[in-house]
Amino acid sequence: DGAHPEDRDAAILGGGARLDLGRVGVMASARSYLFQAGDSLRDDLRSNLQLTAGLTFRLGSAGRRAAPAPAVVRQTPDTVYVARDGTVERRTERRGDGDPQQFVTIPVPREGEIYLRYGPSDSSAVRRGPEPGAAAVTAGQMEALRRQVLADLEPLLRELMAAERIELREMVRDELRRIGAAGLTPEAEQRLVENLEARVALRVQERLRPADAAPRPVRTGFSPRLREWRAYTGGNLDRPRQFLLGGRLDLGPLNPRNPSLRVVPELAAGGGQGGMSVLLATNVQLDLASFRVGRAPLQPYAYGGLGFLVLTDPNPGRAEREAVLNLGYGVNFPVPRRDGGPRLFVEHQGIDLFDLNRLLIGIRF
């Protein structure tokens, strides 16, 4: 006679959060599976904690917004036609000298004004009523005004463009001297473009600011925007031995004036000895000067950051949950025969000031 499993009371409690960054998102959740032990008392419950972390991706193109309805230009008419009231009475009488006299009876409104004009049409002594308001500006008049403004500004724009070309050449020479003779790797080219954009934007703001206007502070702070995402795998070199999966997001430079210093948050999960591990950290990465080995351009980098490490079954002397200070260094290089595409990287990561060492291999998109 086979034994049948007995029913057990169980409950699942948990929660999570997701951070959307455009088409890519980061999610993390935790849940606890509570159940009653086999032959134990009713108040003896066991808990199984499960942690989940990963990246989410949106497939398909973004929806298109409906085009705005064309603006309707309303114009006030220059002439107002007033209907003739049928109650107007007109009669003609003749005087003794034969000159006819005409009489017109007009009904007087309760509120308003009545203007009567008689005599020669070219008489300057006739007092006229107020002129009607000017008509609204038409689309044709606006287009003519725009063309006139552009024609007046064309010499000034040409002078500004000539001056900007000279300054732009100087900026490019400065940036190329910083890069050195290693050549333009994709990372170096990206930093060059971002640095030039920032410098040109600052220069244009200075040119367009009025001479008597007070200088406005230039925004130089961190403006997060997803520039790149990275996925990696690896393992712990120390105990506990674990297999790792993780991802990072490149949110752009910490300061537009220094595009090589970038903000890179990180989420990693591992399994093996010591149960499960979860690392959530925010790093600041510094891209160093690139160099070449043969024909392959290599881009070294280093980073540091603060994080939070969770171990479900830690080794003696280590807490289950602790704040850590992480340091790391590595090098990235293009995928063979795929110049300009994804890049691979190899990295040594030191958790809690190299108290726990990890070897990572990943790809950057």
The alpha carbon of 211 is separated from its chain's Cα centroid by a whole number of angstroms, namely 32
CA atoms within 13 A on the CB side of 29: 12
Alpha helices in the chain (DSSP H): 139-179, 186-208
Kindly indicate the confidence band of residue 181, based on its pLDDT and cuts at 50, 70 and 90.
very low
33-51 tens-digit pLDDT: 777 666 555 556 677 778 7
- Catalogue the E-assigned strands of the chain: 10-21, 24-36, 45-57, 89-94, 100-105, 228-236, 242-250, 253-255, 258-272, 275-287, 291-293, 296-311, 321-334, 343-351, 356-364
304-354 tens-digit pLDDT: 999 999 988 888 878 889 999 999 999 999 887 776 678 999 999 999 999
Residue 157 per-residue DSSP state: H
% of the chain surpassing 90 pLDDT: 23
Residue 353 per-residue DSSP state: T
pTM of the model: 0.46
Question: Which of 179-188, 227-236, 356-365 has the weakest average pLDDT?
Answer: 179-188
pLDDT of residue 121: 60
pLDDT of residue 358: 96
User: Has residue 60 got a pLDDT over 60?
Assistant: no
Rg (CA), the chain: 39
Q: Mean per-residue pLDDT for 62-87?
A: 55
For residue 247, what are its two tokens? 């991802």
CA 305-310-312 angle, to 5 degrees, is 160
User: Has residue 283 got a pLDDT over 70?
Assistant: yes
CA distance 25 to 151: 49
Residues 6+ apart with CB under 8 A from 320: 310, 311, 312, 314
pLDDT of residue 259: 84
291-303 tens-digit pLDDT: 888 888 899 999 9
How far, in Å, are 29, 32, 54, 323 from residue 279 at the CA level?
13, 19, 12, 10
Indicate the SS3 state at residue 81.
coil
pLDDT of residue 306: 95
% of the chain surpassing 70 pLDDT: 61
CB of 69 within 8 A of CB of 83? Answer: no
User: Has residue 255 got a pLDDT over 80?
Assistant: yes
pLDDT of residue 285: 95
pLDDT of residue 58: 72
Q: Which residue has the higher pLDDT, 100 or 241?
A: 241
CA distance 26 to 282: 13
pLDDT of residue 207: 65
Question: Which of 91-95, 234-238, 347-351 has the weakest average pLDDT?
Answer: 91-95
Q: Which residue has the higher pLDDT, 138 or 239?
A: 239
Mean pLDDT score of the chain:
75
User: Has residue 198 got a pLDDT over 80?
Assistant: no
Q: Nearest 10 degrees: CA dihedral of 337, 54, 23, 257?
A: -70
Residues 6+ apart with CB under 8 A from 268: 53, 232, 244, 245, 246, 247, 278, 279
